[in-house]
Amino acid sequence: MIPVQGFEGATVAVLGLGRSGLAAARALRAGGAQVVVWDDTPRARAAAEADGFEVRELNRESAFDDVACLVTSPGIPHLYPAPNPATAAALKAGVPVDNDIGLFFRSFGADFDRFERPPRVVAVTGSNGKSTTSALIHHILTASVRSSQLAGNIGRGVLDIDPPEDGGVVVLELSSYQTELARALTPDVAVFTNLSPDHLDRHGGLGGYFAAKRRLFAEGGPDRCVIGVDEVEGQFLAGQMAEGRADDRVIRVATHKLTGPGWMVFARKGFLSEWRKGRQIASVDLRDVAGLPGAHNHQNACAAWAACRSLGLGPREIEAGLRSFAGLPHRSQRIAEQGGVIFVNDSKATNVDSALKALLAFDRIRWVCGGLMKEGGLAALEPGLNHVAKAYVIGREPEGFALQLGGVEAELCGTMDQAVARAAEDAQPGDVVLLAPAAASFDQYDNFEKRGEDFVANVQKVLAKG
């Protein structure tokens, strides 16, 4: 645990008692704060009360008369589309609002005088690939016998990690919900993977969404910035953070060749290249790295490479880490192969951009897709549809989804078991049965993990039948 500093003897309110909320409440208590908590769920309130916390309904302005700060969980809106009533009450009462990420950064360096080599923090944000990039950085560090902890949106709660070791690294995956609200953001290395439309209602549009990501860099003042420049927003951010073209405090990352005097890492036709001061420093063939299939994962590899180089690792040990990386569940996860047919679980492809990247990673696809469509429709999938032999559409309203798939042959399956069974029946050697829904899971599942687990279970059931 990382005890929260700066609130000794003060009353702090915690809103939302999921994983991050409970960890924040305990870390605040460990730092000497008086903690009051609230959650809309009676079971969560009862569990917190049993843990010794005072439960206080926070929907009234008067509830904040003695409160120094409100700490909210990531899923609770504080501005758009409308503030949560408790957050609105805090704002009206003039009480500062923060989250566990802000508490972490204000507390993490409290006792660094005892270290010979201070610990460092790598923070990764972006629309797609941030989980894989974060996990890959952590894996490379661990494989290179460096002390590393993985936290934030992946791994452990950020305040629930162990006190860092001398020279240790904490790798954080941060969503826009977290970077937008955190009052302190001071990573040593900040990584921006890419940007595509997502969570637009929460951020008041694409500009607000990008602004939330940008705070990690503009507010945080990292020593090194690793920035994906495939989109104009990344190019803009890199330009804002660099003093000039040769400023190697910024490492530009792309899925196409980059030129110039600066520091850059790019992947082109499956080959990763690192260039600095106009010279190639290293090159790696990624085409046979099983845990990182497709151009989108090659972009993740470039970002992880750049972050690890910033931490002082050499090309050979980073390459060894890339090759031993097995991938993450539900993210281009190769789960089985039988009769020349490969089965891949990419349930995390919840938006059109991530699904398109999954489609472009394989040549002939039996595509399991569908669910709760997001704003904007499916038109942006068009460049990948020629990779699809047939679509097998799930979800409560598969008809509407299938109508947006252009000329792709589509079968309305509705349920995962029927979609997997039909795709496996139709598949020929060389085909890939791919779950990349291009939609949220909430019409049929609690989350994308449950959807992916259902896909895996049904693949195993089909393969067991022979």
User: Where do the domains of the chain lie?
Assistant: 11-98, 103-324, 333-460
Q: How many CB atoms lie within 10 A of CB 231?
A: 17
Q: Which CATH superfamily is domain 11-98 in?
A: NAD(P)-binding Rossmann-like Domain (3.40.50.720)
Radius of gyration of the chain (CA): 23
- The CATH fold assigned to 333-460 is Protein-Tyrosine Phosphatase; Chain A (3.90.190)
Instruction: State the Cα–Cα distance between residues 140 and 153, nearest whole angstrom.
Output: 19
Q: 97-106: buried (b, 16+ CB within 10 Å) or exposed (e) per residue? A: bbbbbbbbbb
Length reported for the chain: 466
**Residue 461 labeled ligand binder:** no
pLDDT, residue 110, reads 73
Strands 279-285 and 271-276: antiparallel
Strands 271-276 and 263-268: antiparallel
Instruction: State the Cα–Cα distance between residues 46 and 72, nearest whole angstrom.
Output: 18
Instruction: State the Cα–Cα distance between residues 109 and 119, nearest whole angstrom.
Output: 8
Q: What is the dihedral of CA 382, 355, 420, 463, to 10 degrees?
A: 120
**Residue 273 labeled ligand binder:** no
* Tokens 């924040």 -> residue: 24
pLDDT, residue 156, reads 87
**Residue 130 labeled ligand binder:** yes
Q: How many CB atoms lie within 10 A of CB 65?
A: 10
**Residue 126 labeled ligand binder:** yes
**Residue 347 labeled ligand binder:** no
Nearest residue to 325 (alpha-carbon basis) of 285, 361, 292, 284:
292
Phi-psi region of 135 (alpha: psi -120 to 50; beta: other; left: phi over 0): alpha
Q: What is the dihedral of CA 153, 156, 158, 163, to 10 degrees?
A: -150
Contact 370, 408 (CB under 8 A): no
DSSP class per residue in 240-307: HH-SSTT-TTEEEEESS---SSSEEEEEETTEEEEEETTEEEEEEE-TT-TTS-HHHHHHHHHHHHHH
pLDDT, residue 280, reads 97
Retrieve residue 258's tokens: 């980059």
Instruction: State the Cα–Cα distance between residues 336 and 314, nearest whole angstrom.
Output: 33
3-state helix vs strand vs coil in the chain, percent to 5: 35, 25, 40
Q: Which parts of 73-176 are beta strand (E)?
A: 97-98, 120-125, 148-152, 169-173
Per-residue pLDDT of the chain (466 residues; tens, 9 = 90+): 999 999 999 999 999 998 889 999 999 999 999 999 999 999 999 999 999 999 999 998 899 999 999 999 998 999 999 999 999 999 999 999 999 999 999 999 777 778 889 999 999 999 989 999 999 999 999 999 999 999 998 878 999 999 988 999 999 999 999 999 999 999 999 999 999 887 888 999 999 999 999 999 998 889 999 999 999 999 999 999 999 999 999 999 999 999 999 999 999 999 999 999 999 999 999 999 988 988 889 999 999 999 999 999 999 999 999 999 988 889 889 999 999 999 999 999 998 988 999 999 999 999 999 999 987 899 999 999 999 999 999 999 999 999 999 889 999 999 999 999 999 999 999 999 999 999 999 999 999 999 999 999 999 999 998 7
Retrieve residue 414's tokens: 């509705």
Contact 266, 273 (CB under 8 A): yes
Q: How many CB atoms lie within 10 A of CB 219?
A: 13
Retrieve residue 159's tokens: 């305040």
Instruction: State the Cα–Cα distance between residues 203 and 80, nearest whole angstrom.
Output: 6
Fill in the DSSP letter of residue 430: T
| Angle 323-327-328 from CA coordinates, rounded to 5° | 160
User: How far is the CA of 102 from the CAs of 121, 150, 187, 188, 265, in angstroms?
Assistant: 13, 17, 11, 15, 30
Query: Which residues, including other chains, have CB under 8 Å from residue 373's CB and lie 6 or more apart?
Result: 400, 401, 438, 439, 440
CATH architecture of the domain with residue range 103-324: 3-Layer(aba) Sandwich (3.40)
DSSP class per residue in 67-78: EEEEEE-TTS-S
The number of angstroms, rounded, from the C-alpha of 328 to the middle of its chain's C-alpha atoms is: 12
